[in-house]
Amino acid sequence: MRSFKDLDAWKKSRQLRNDISSLVKKFPKEEMFRLADQVIRSSRSIGNNIAEGHGRYHYIDSRKFFINARGSASETIDYLIVALDEGYIDNSVFEKFESDCETCMKLINGYINYLKEQASKDQP
């Protein structure tokens, strides 16, 4: 892979980030600098960590950032649960976003496994 932009995990995280940005515009104004800000930050962090990990060029360093990206996807789900509990989104919207986050996590896990395989090939 030449660029992080070629990774399916990053592509999916970009789509999720853009969808989250559209979603939070429907939140109440008083949540713009609370819940909306937090869910935007966590969704952005997924792609940010993927990009940074890809740029590390070392398996151990890269893996750390991909694990952080996976954590940010989980964090995003938790913020969406808050939005559901507060009545800002309904269950069908939550389930769609939860599924998108889980897809990101699966793609990230796949890349982590790829990094493990590559690291083991480099071991004597």
Task: For residue 122, give every residue at least 6 positions away whose Cβ sits within 8 Å of its Cβ, in sequence order, or none.
Answer: 59
Domain ranges for the chain: 7-122
Summarize pLDDT for 87-114 with one digit per residue, the tens.
999 999 999 999 999 999 999 999 999 9
| pTM score, whole prediction | 0.92
CB 76 within 8 A of CB 42: yes
Summarize pLDDT for 11-40 with one digit per residue, the tens.
999 999 999 999 999 999 999 999 999 999
7-122: CATH topology is de novo design (two linked rop proteins) (1.20.1440)
